[in-house]
Amino acid sequence: MKTKTYNIEQLRCNDLDERKQQFDMSRYEDFIEESSLSTRAHRHNYYMILFCTGGRGSQLIDFEQFEVRPGTMFLMYPGQIHAWQDDHDMEGYLIFFTSAFFNMRYHNNVLLDFPFFNATARRPFIELSAEQIAHKQTLFNCMLKEYEKKEEGYLKVLRSYLNIVLIESNRAYESKLHTKINADKNAALIVNNFEQLINVHFKDKHKVRDYAELLHLTPNYLNAVCNKILNRSAGEMIRSRIMLEAKRLLLHERDTVAEIGHELGFDDNSYFCRFFKKYETTSPEKFRKKYQSTDGQH
């Protein structure tokens, strides 16, 4: 097992904005050798794709631990809390890109259509078959060569490759995790629209009826559709998004608990604390101290 001690500020992916760079790519092992692995939690301001082809490891994504092994591909989006954990001779590829990079060719909202880039998605990864692994390795190798050569028009080529990676990943993701979608396309569309509305309004709309009204549905029907497609109630989806953002803010921001509660639409701090404790089984302050003591604040 490799021991990594560098701070996250040293990782090259975290200064894309400073370098006015919107795309970066490398082999995982080269990236780690260059910048080392930080176990400190950090908040992404970019999209990241990790494709593991050898070895194994683990990482923390939005406070949940995930094993990384050959044939897994992780897809992360801006705003998520991430921490590298174990690295047992891992090999693979890393891609970092901003929405601006992708949107220079494709419509501004296309990235939101990919379910793995949605905060209500429950799994930020896909597991590939042997055939898919071989295909992805060829594709990623072509991308890396294009990126390293930097010949005329290489960024346009990289956008096209990236779009292929995302579309193919979406196919694999939906076939593995959303088999119910094929049974009812209309219900799946409602859930997708609901998820996007939650991401826009979760700070000011906390009730199912608010979203049902926006979707021109009854609250009971919206609940039934969510249970059918995702086995989750509409209320649970709203609460999960609020809780996720609360935990992100508690870890990454210096605001007080009351200020964070107010930002999330809770005028009464005591109510926010009760809400948080009900679903996390600990208070906001204790949650913050737990992660500060293990990961540090920066």
Structural domains present in the chain: 8-177 (2.60.120.280), 183-295 (1.10.10.60)
Rounded Cα gap, residues 227 and 264, in angstroms: 25
- Band (pLDDT 50/70/90 cuts) for residue 16 is low
CB 50 within 8 A of CB 28: yes
Per-residue confidence (pLDDT) for residue 166, from 0 to 100: 96
State pLDDT tens for residues 129-138: 999 999 999 9
State pLDDT tens for residues 68-115: 999 999 999 988 888 888 888 999 999 999 998 998 888 666 887 888
Rounded Cα gap, residues 200 and 166, in angstroms: 23
pLDDT > 90 fraction of the chain, expressed in percent and rounded: 58
- Band (pLDDT 50/70/90 cuts) for residue 52 is very high
For 161, the enclosing helix (H) or strand (E) is: helix 154-177
- Band (pLDDT 50/70/90 cuts) for residue 183 is low
Res. 160: pLDDT tops 70: yes
Per-residue confidence (pLDDT) for residue 97, from 0 to 100: 93
Res. 295: pLDDT tops 90: no
Instruction: Name 25's bridge partners.
Output: 95
Res. 7: pLDDT tops 80: no
Q: Where is mean pLDDT largest: 33-37, 107-111, 188-192?
A: 188-192
Please give the backbone phi and psi of residue 61, each rounded to the nearest 5 degrees, phi first.
-125, 115
Which carries the bigger pLDDT value, residue 128 or residue 184?
Answer: 128
Res. 17: pLDDT tops 90: no
Per-residue confidence (pLDDT) for residue 290, from 0 to 100: 84
Rounded Cα gap, residues 194 and 211, in angstroms: 7
Res. 297: pLDDT tops 50: no
Average pLDDT across the chain, whole number? 86
Mean pLDDT of 167-188: 73
State pLDDT tens for residues 194-240: 998 998 999 999 999 999 999 999 999 999 999 988 889 999 999 99
Res. 6: pLDDT tops 70: no
State pLDDT tens for residues 253-281: 889 999 999 999 999 999 999 999 999 99
Instruction: Name 76's bridge partners.
Output: 48
Res. 15: pLDDT tops 80: no
Residue from 77, 82, 81 nearest 114 by CA: 77
User: How many residues are there in the chain?
Assistant: 298
Per-residue confidence (pLDDT) for residue 20, from 0 to 100: 64
Q: Rg of the chain's alpha carbons, rounded to an integer?
A: 20
- Predicted TM-score (pTM) of the model is 0.74
Residue from 118, 160, 123 nearest 139 by CA: 160
